[in-house]
Amino acid sequence: MGQIRRVVLAYSGGLDTSVILKWLQEQYGCEVVTFTADLGQGEELEAARRKALQLGVKEEHVFIEDLRETFVRDFVFPMFRANAVYEGEYLLGTSIARPLIAKRQIEIAQIVGADAVAHGATGKGNDQVRFELAYYALMPEIRVIAPWREWDLTSRERLLAYAERHGIPVEAKPESGRAPYSMDANLLHISYEGGILEDPAVEPEEEMWRWTVAPERAPDQPEYVSLFFERGDLVAIDGERLPPHALLARLNALGGKHGVGRLDLVENRFVGMKSRGCYETPGGTILLKAHRAIESLTLDREVAHLKDELMPRYASLIYNGFWFSPEREALQALIDHTQQNVNGTVRVKLYKGSVQVVGRSSPRSSLFDATLATFEEDYGAYRQKDAEGFIRLQALRMRVAARRQQQREERT
């Protein structure tokens, strides 16, 4: 392979990626372009610009972009149309962010004429797979540099020593006694790993959680919220239409206030190991509950059941990094087709860590027919006598099997 002249680094401005920036310059003798995505992580990203410039990156090669609306509209919402949940619990907050970061990283590589892209994911985790599958799907011949699979800086102490030798600014150390969690945040969630969480038997410290109050400390009065959907996407909260990212931020604030969306999970990583992570997904938890509720009113039974059968496969594709795969895109086309009439309002009650659906309506799309479902007089809308033949036909194969079993028993 030829010499690398220019590389685009997915850059957060933290210790790891700052060390990577300097290591790339030193190891490859190349020019580094940094890309920092604002996905709603709530951090002051201009600090990343200042640090990149301090480490020798040209001003025109420091990219910091607000991708919050794109993230929610084009990645989070399509995923929630599928009701995607990994291993029954995880709402895929980290997984769904990686393809967007990788996509924009490749676009910047094409703009600046880069030979390679680089990321700060370790060789043990899922993110290396997610980033690199996306890179190759979008730019098949791109060179990929994954420093954690190459260097010998395998501990925080070594990273800090390298930073000191090269004059890399390091953030103030956390207060004494605070667990050193590895965190990843965006508008959909915050994830926590490492530290005391590496023992699955240890309960997380209350101080770890950033977005949600403890359910027992949440307000003693429930709060009712109305969510309005069009074609499967949330478009308004309590009658107010907002952009997608603003809607999710609003749900995060509401859910966090009431202690909604905490998760403590041992999951199966794609690379083969089990890992323990904790997650806060307040807005996503509300959104999933409400979306399923409006689907219950507007989706045909067999379509709804088919979606539920496909959902685990769809969720695994996202978790494992196959967002840009043809099979995910095919599933998305089917899912989006099912959402044409998923329109209406869902009313939820938030109370001490729970989300309860208390009402749903869809004047134009509802398949609920009160004249059929009523326990009162239906005036002939449904002929109950028809159920007799339906049941006998459904029982036919079981009756045949039962007769055979009786005959075998009689012969013995």
Residues taking part in catalysis: 16, 98, 127, 182
Q: Residue 351 in 3-state DSSP?
A: strand
d(CA 155, CA 408): 69
- Report the distance separating Cα 180 and Cα 156, nearest Å: 11
For the packed helices 15-28 and 156-165, what is the interaxial angle rounded to 10 degrees?
Answer: 60
297 Cβ contact partners less than 8 Å away, ≥ 6 residues apart: 344, 360, 361, 362, 365, 366, 367, 368
For residues 289 and 281, the answer to whether their CB atoms sit within 8 Å is no
Q: Which residues contact 256 (CB under 8 A, 6 or more apart)?
A: 211, 212, 213, 280, 282
> 144: which strand partners?
117
Residue 36 sits at the vertex; the CA angle it makes with 35 and 41, to the nearest 5 degrees, is 165
**Cα–Cα dist 323/310, whole Å:** 15
The span from the CA of 358 to the CA of 345, in Å, is 11
CA angle 255, 261, 263 (to 5 degrees): 165
Rounded-to-integer distance, Cα 103 and Cα 143, Å: 15
Torsion, Cα of 161, 167, 170, 173 (10° steps) = 50
